Chains A and B, each alone.
Chain A
Amino acid sequence: AQSVTQPDIHITVSEGASLELRCNYSYGATPYLFWYVQSPGQGLQLLLKYFSGDTLVQGIKGFEAEFKRSQSSFNLRKPSVHWSDAAEYFCAVGLYSGGGADGLTFGKGTHLIIQP
């Protein structure tokens, strides 16, 4: 079964500093990879996704992520964080089986705290 590991439960970053959130997945093939953000009391918003092709993907709000097959990782980065980035970040994997629907497997999330 596929699994997703986000090793950092909490991360504190100063406003304006760079950010990297780690995500590792376990699966025999390359799954489809996603990063979602959840602000307090809100639903899940898709930041970016990777299906194939260029291993560096750009998302919304200035985020990017790099897929590294050799490390089974899909880390999320942002060069300069803003106070509004404080939220819970979830990495997720999914499978596409032609025509069928697949549920996503989520990591436990990383809580991002921004220091002024």
Chain B
Amino acid sequence: EPEVTQTPSHQVTQMGQEVILRCVPISNHLYFYWYRQILGQKVEFLVSFYNNEISEKSEIFDDQFSVERPDGSNFTLKIRSTKLEDSAMYFCASRDRGGLNEQFFGPGTRLTVL
């Protein structure tokens, strides 16, 4: 069964450093998402992406964040200058055109900012 994959599974970085989190969505999907989950808290929507542009973003997704689909398979989330409060689990999700928002989630990348 096709699945969303994410790399790395765990990323440790120093405050102020740039990180790139990578996702490979399901191959025929067209809509892509990033969510985050701070430890012990709920899953929060960050951004959605369709047709090579951002469709929707939350208040969390400020100028420090960016997303990109650099090729036909990868979908990345970049944090330009990480802060301690960026420490969280980051989930990528994707859905197809007819999926009526049935999003399939990857296993997540745990980001730890020291």
Using CB atoms and an 8 Å cutoff, list the residues of chain A in contact with chain B.
32, 34, 36, 42-46, 49, 51, 90, 92, 94-96, 100-109
**Known contacts A101-B49, A106-B43, A109-B42; A96/B101 CB under 8 A:** yes
Assembled-state Cα–Cα distance A34/B105 (Å): 13
Q: Mostly helix, strand, loop or mixed at chain B's interface?
A: strand
Chain A contacts for B48, CB-based, 8 A? 101-103
Whether the Cβ atoms of B42 and A101 lie closer than 8 Å is: no
**Known contacts A101-B56, A102-B56, A107-B42; A43/B105 CB under 8 A:** yes
Residue of A nearest to B6 (CB): A43
Contacts A43-B108, A102-B55 aside, 11 further interface pairs with beta carbons under 8 A come to A32-B100, A32-B101, A43-B4, A45-B105, A46-B103, A100-B50, A101-B56, A102-B48, A103-B56, A104-B101, A106-B42
